[in-house]
Amino acid sequence: MEVWPGEAYPLGATYDGNGTNFALFSEAGERVYLCLFDDDGEETRVELKDVDGYVWHCYLPHVLPGQKYGFRVDGPYDPANGQRCNVNKLLLDPYAKAVHGEIDWDQSLFGYNFGDENSRNDEDSAAHMMMGVVVSPFFDWDGDRKPRIPYHRSVIYEAHVKGLTQLHPDIPEEQRGTYAAIAHPSVIAHLQKLGVTAIELMPVHQFVNDSTLQEKGLSNYWGYNTIGFFAPQNTYCSTGDAGQQVQEFKAMVRELHLAGIEVILDVVYNHTAEGNHMGPTLSFRGIDNSAYYRLMEDEKQYYMDYTGTGNSLNVRHPHSLQLLMDSLRYWATEMHVDGFRFDLASTLAREFYDVDRLSTFFELCQQDPVVSQSKLIAEPWDVGPGGYQVGNFPPLWTEWNGLYRDTVRDFWRGEPSTLGEFASRITGSADLYESSGRRPVASINFVTAHDGFTLRDLVSYNEKHNEANGEDNNDGESHNRSWNCGVEGETDDPKVQGLRARQQRNFLATLLLSQGVPMIAHGDELGRTQQGNNNVYCQDSELSWVDWDKVDQPLLEFVAAVNKLRTEHPTFRRRRFFDGRPVRRGEGEALPDIVWLTADGTLMEPEDWDAALGRCIGVFLNGQGIPGRDERGQRITDENFLIYFNADDHDVEFVLPPKEYAAKWDQVIDTAGEYADSEPIAAGKPMTVQAKAMVVLRAYTPPADEPDHSVAASLAAMADAKGTGKGSV
């Protein structure tokens, strides 16, 4: 075979139109072999003779896209000193842009013999390994441009590629559960109907199915077990062609962008699928164990584990950091991805022992001209000491706001002494983000996510029901802050059904009208259930898939209408925090940008905030008090709004504020569905808000001659659902 020296950069397999350059970093290696495989599994080895800065490289002028390959690294095997090289183990290229096949958990994949972790296993693993695939970088993007939607206009939809599409009746069967399915017109139309601006895909980096789950007939459905940080998961491709997943993924992104929808990836850079010292040797471990993994300082045969998965990536090593940054840039530039949600992001900040918000990884993200312009979303915790870091990430980052989730759940289930915390969370969590120079959009607000109950289950179960996972119901979170509305699980009781429907509307309306960036978990707008299972990480089945034949249509229409209200009114998506100071524009009364009201229409006093049994509150939002200008330089103005929240078990009579706020008020939303057809209410008049309900009012504007096409009108058109237990307005 003709072998040229090639280049040390870029790492991985790079096809240039004529041949392919291969490059692999390994400081531990003494000899490195590139292994090429034909369709019959026959292996051809090429020893890499050229090495620069511990990067071994060559150029093969006749190797084309579709070629399957791997590496073997010959070097020291001394686990006690953190060295685990073994030339008999075929290793996946960390930079492989596509992956062929899966592992079968054969004994040969392990560096030791089962039953004796101190032994050495020299069986050849090639026949049982996944392999890298050389891919063509060429793709017709057809003028694709990233939507670049600002955070304050963003609505994120967290989704699983397979879970969202596997049961969709409009998608051809051969495409269901794939990237092509996400790009299907029916799925895109659904996202557009909801007003979604970004789809956040659960892990699509190549991952490994755990052997322990396979033995139980289960699988790693969620995919938080990455082995390839550059390769789209091959099982989400609608064709079996090696490397085709890259083309299909790009086509998905192109179609979503064309529809004005961004693509955000849930990425798992905190650990890999190789697990702890008892795990298989698949890639990083056999290439350079101590460079890629955090090892115990005094016992290097063991791994630091801040993730609960067996290992943690070594973000102190320059080549591990390079891997992360190269991966992020690749997905942003070559795959046109718009942003990233970092799983267990606190782990990436652990340069030493404690979490360091100024760690090298964050500094690299800050200065990188590509990564810094992407949406960067942190899951701001890990399982290590001091790992809960909500509010402590650098200014460039946004965060999943776990405090928002917990507080909103507590408020609507009627927990005492929640008013002050609730007010902070729905106004953007200034206590968490303002001091670091961030704005309300730093808070990614959510009530539910993939991890935990679905929204319907949140209002239907007090306890988790994870028996199907085979762990005696010991897995998953036990403190869910849920309330079953009086009956555990499914029921035919119309009163309970009506209350549950109202609670779902309460959660979704609160979420969409809070300051910050709302995130909806897929299927919550449809009434999706997992039958009380709050940890379906291993359930690749109808238990976890969205059932498109059982859609709660009134709930779907409600979510779309409320999101339309949010989209049309900058009052609900401010770019700066409230300051409570009076604002005068025009000749009207100077009013603060926000006013908190008691049920009797007076201002909230300190004792009101501290009332243990306080479960209702009103808030006035001044549409003239929005600072800043829009994208065209125009001053931002809006109508005034009132929102009343009643989490009490009884109806509450609220007195509307005096006419200085507005002479009359239109009732735009009522989650109890009682006021869709009512007349405007005059200032100072009483209004009853039903138990466990939320009402949104807008300052009354006399009707013009033309028909009313406002959100209020579209909501009123849905009044036929009133009183059914399923209605939303």
Residue 614 burial (10 A CB sphere; 0-12, 13-18, 19+): buried
Residues tagged active-site: 343, 379
Around Cβ 260, how many Cβ atoms within 10 Å?
A: 14
139: tokens are 């793709």
CA dihedral 395, 397, 400, 403 (to 10 degrees): -10
616: tokens are 């209702």
Distance from first CA to last CA of the chain, Å, rounded? 72
CA distance 445 to 520: 9
Q: Specify the DSSP element, H or E, that contains 407.
A: helix 402-412
Residue type, 681: I
Q: Is 47 helix (H, G, I), strand (E, B) or coil?
A: strand
Identify the residue whose tokens are 């507590």. Answer: 410
Nearest to 425 by CA among 440, 439, 412, 414: 440
Residue type, 726: K
Q: Quote the DSSP letter at residue 56.
A: E
Q: Are 564 and 714 in contact (CB under 8 A)?
A: yes
List, in sequence order, the alpha helices (H) in 446-576: 455-458, 494-513, 553-568
Q: Are 99 and 242 in contact (CB under 8 A)?
A: no
Q: Is 32 helix (H, G, I), strand (E, B) or coil?
A: strand
Contacts of 606 (CB under 8 A, 6+ apart): none
Contacts of 273 (CB under 8 A, 6+ apart): 207, 208, 225, 226, 227, 279, 282
Nearest to 157 by CA among 551, 518, 428: 518
Angle (nearest 5°) at CA 53 between 49 and 57: 35
Q: Specify the DSSP element, H or E, that contains 404.
A: helix 402-412
CA distance 22 to 37: 15
